[in-house]
Amino acid sequence: MADKGLSPRPGVIDDDHVFDVVEEIFQTQINPAVAQHGGRVDLIDVEDGVVVVRMMGGCQGCGMANVTLRQGIEASLKRMVPGVQGIRDITDHAAGSNPYYAQTGK
């Protein structure tokens, strides 16, 4: 009998297992941190090791959202969770009504 969450093939990471681990990290570490700015990041899916997220609240439309996503969340997940290959943001940032940092018009 295989252990729950382990892939049947050695060296292959199961997206469902990665989802569960990432979801725990979002609940205990990431969302408490972004909540300080009125934000939230929802875990939508994991597809072939790519974590799919939607940013909400103060994160939606924030001028620093990409920095938070790439240098904070993605870097942490890659370091902490074997099998995470990257992150994809499906947020409609243009619809953000109360971003923590407003986008600048460069």
Domain residue spans of the chain? 15-94
Q: What is the pLDDT of residue 57?
A: 94
Q: Quick check: 7 pLDDT over 60?
A: no
- Whether the predicted model's global pTM rises above the 0.85 cut: no
Is CATH 3.30.300.130 what the domain over 15-94 is classified as, yes or no?
yes
Q: Please state the φ and ψ torsions of residue 51, each to the nearest 5 degrees.
A: -85, 125
44 vs 3, 51, 64, CA distance in Å?
A: 25, 8, 21
Average pLDDT, rounded, for the chain: 87
Is the CA virtual torsion 50, 47, 34, 81 positive or negative? negative
Tracing tokens 């409609």 back to the chain, one arrives at 92
- Is the CB of residue 39 less than 8 Å from the CB of residue 91? no
Q: What is the pLDDT of residue 18?
A: 96
Q: Please state the φ and ψ torsions of residue 72, each to the nearest 5 degrees.
A: -100, -75
Q: What is the pLDDT of residue 12?
A: 60
